[in-house]
A = this chain, B = another copy of it.
């Protein structure tokens, strides 16, 4: 039997993780909104550390459900060691481990000019 998920595209919202469970709340809200805007997409959260699922677990669950095309969106304000050094080998390893798997990694939030402008406008509002 072919899984109903087979051939479906997934978005992985990749966040840092923290000890405080409430920390994940904004990311859960983003996930809900993305799911509402694009019901055809499967949208999952994955964390670098301290929270579950981690990226390998998230990808494993998606692969189990037949998903092979994934877009990983780093919900990080900026590109540091986590995105430049830790993430690429994790992605390569996962692609090697799962036949046919393709994970496309997008830029981070701070590399989006429109989002930086939105944040700057919000900062100005906060100060007034």
Contact = CB atoms under 8 A, between A and B. Distances in A.
B73 A11 contact: no
A116 B81 contact: no
Given A13-B123, A80-B20, A84-B20, A26 B73 contact: no
A123 B11 contact: yes
A76 B73 contact: no
A119 B11 CA distance: 14
Nearest to A69: B127
A84 B23 CA distance: 10
A3 interface: no
Contact of A127 (B15, B41, B76, B124): B41
Given A75-B77, A81-B19, A123-B13, A116 B29 contact: yes
Given A34-B124, A37-B121, A107-B126, 19 more contacts: A9-B127, A11-B123, A13-B123, A15-B78, A18-B78, A19-B81, A20-B81, A27-B77, A30-B123, A34-B123, A38-B127, A71-B127, A73-B123, A73-B127, A75-B77, A106-B126, A112-B122, A114-B118, A114-B122
